């Protein structure tokens, strides 16, 4: 009888676990199908867009604990018909929790345009890195939009104790000139001039980015403030945090970056 009771309870628990309210662990990797491989799914959507010579994308980041504000960025981006895709520059979550990845992506499902992301240092907390890998995909990847190549890079140096991050060998390979693209934009959460970017990698990063003269922008987040500056000859744009209720509209043309402007909502 006791065994039957135990088996019944076990089966009941297994059945109930299908319900979202039965949360198994703050750092459990989400198992929902819609939360798997989002990078790949969104890159497929981007690949279906016929890229014009001049296009705009929406950069925003550091959504973190500001979920009310992050929910409001979605209609704001949707309202700008120039924007063809959006880029989250990292720190999607505050604590790297399962539930944050679920909730924030529920908002992002409302975006009219595809969304690609880079991982931020907060996203790596606890088991957050494994959750990011499952929800989005690789932490370093690239895609093309017309003649522009986007190089998405994990630059969260301080989060890795036993590994040199960012992976500059990979970056260098990806920035070698190819006939399929003319210009590149590097997107990474931690800016290369920040203390959280591994100090001994800053000069090599700058050298790689400048070597072929094809990188038109180094796009970042992390510092919770907007910046648009030339740092050692490299144009650095840093998107603001969501709490400040603005995103960055970046317009790219055949000659490079045409315009960078903040859009408040």
Nearest distance from C-beta of residue 194 to another protein, angstroms: 12
Site for another protein in 103-122 (CB under 8 A): 103, 107
If you ran DSSP here, which 8-state letter would residue 244 be given? G
Does the protein bind another protein through residue 95 (CB under 8 A)? yes
Closer of 5 and 233 to another protein (Cβ) = 5
The binder of another protein chosen from 36, 37, 54, 71 (CB under 8 A): 71
The binder of another protein chosen from 97, 175, 186, 242 (CB under 8 A): 97
Does the protein bind another protein through residue 11 (CB under 8 A)? no
Show the site string, 19-38: x = touches another protein by CB under 8 A, - = not: x-xxxxxxxxxxx-------
Q: What is the DSSP string of 75-131?
A: HHHHT-TTEEEEEE-S---SS--HHHHHHHHHHHTT-SS-EEE---TGGGTTTHHHH
Nearest distance from C-beta of residue 13 to another protein, angstroms: 3
CA distance 187 to 177: 18
Q: What is the DSSP string of 40-52?
A: HHHHHHHHTS---
Q: Find the farthest-apart pair of alpha carbons in the chain and give their distance in angstroms, rounded.
A: 77
Q: Are 250 and 218 in contact (CB under 8 A)?
A: no
Nearest distance from C-beta of residue 161 to another protein, angstroms: 7
Nearest distance from C-beta of residue 115 to another protein, angstroms: 18
Does the protein bind another protein through residue 126 (CB under 8 A)? yes
Does the protein bind another protein through residue 193 (CB under 8 A)? no
Task: Extract the runs of DSSP E, i.e. beta strands, from the chain.
Answer: 55-60, 83-88, 115-117, 141-145, 148-153, 183-188, 215-220, 227-231, 234-238, 246-253, 256-264
If you ran DSSP here, which 8-state letter would residue 240 be given? P
CA distance 80 to 58: 9
Backbone angles phi, psi at 107, to 5 degrees: -65, -50
Does the protein bind another protein through residue 66 (CB under 8 A)? yes
Does the protein bind another protein through residue 204 (CB under 8 A)? no
From 65-73, 172-180, 184-192, 206-214, span contacting another protein (CB under 8 A): 65-73
Does the protein bind another protein through residue 67 (CB under 8 A)? yes
Nearest distance from C-beta of residue 64 to another protein, angstroms: 10
Q: Is 263 exposed, middle or buried (0-12, 13-18, 19+ CB in 10 A)?
A: middle
Does the protein bind another protein through residue 98 (CB under 8 A)? yes
Does the protein bind another protein through residue 16 (CB under 8 A)? yes
* Positions in the binding site for another protein (CB under 8 A): 1-2, 5-6, 9, 12-14, 16-17, 19, 21-31, 65-68, 71, 94-100, 103, 107, 125-127, 129, 158, 161, 195
């Amino acid at each position: 009888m006791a065994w039957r009771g135990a088996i019944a309870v076990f089966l009941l628990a297994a059945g109930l676990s299908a319900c979202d309210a039965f949360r198994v662990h703050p750092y459990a990797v989400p198992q929902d199908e819609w939360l798997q491989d989002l990078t790949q799914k969104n890159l497929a959507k981007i690949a279906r867009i016929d890229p014009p010579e001049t296009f705009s994308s929406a950069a925003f980041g550091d959504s973190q604990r500001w979920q009310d504000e992050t929910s409001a960025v979605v209609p704001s981006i949707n309202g700008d018909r120039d924007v063809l895709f959006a880029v989250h520059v990292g720190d999607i979550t505050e604590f790297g929790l399962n539930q944050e990845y679920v909730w924030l992506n529920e908002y992002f499902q409302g975006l009219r345009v595809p969304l690609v992301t880079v991982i931020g240092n907060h996203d790596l907390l606890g088991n957050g890195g494994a959750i990011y890998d499952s929800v989005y995909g690789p932490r370093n990847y690239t895609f093309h939009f017309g003649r522009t190549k986007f190089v998405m890079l994990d630059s969260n140096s301080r989060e890795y104790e036993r590994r040199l991050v960012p992976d500059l060998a990979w970056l260098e390979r990806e920035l070698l000139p190819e006939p399929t693209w003319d210009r590149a934009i590097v997107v990474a959460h931690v800016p290369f001039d920040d203390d959280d970017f591994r100090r001994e990698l800053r000069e090599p990063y700058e050298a790689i980015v400048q070597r072929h003269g094809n990188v038109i922008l180094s796009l970042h987040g992390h510092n919770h403030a907007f910046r648009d500056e030339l740092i050692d000859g490299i144009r650095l744009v840093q998107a603001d945090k969501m709490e400040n209720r603005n995103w960055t509209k970046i317009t790219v043309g055949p000659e490079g970056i045409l315009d960078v402007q903040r859009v408040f909502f």
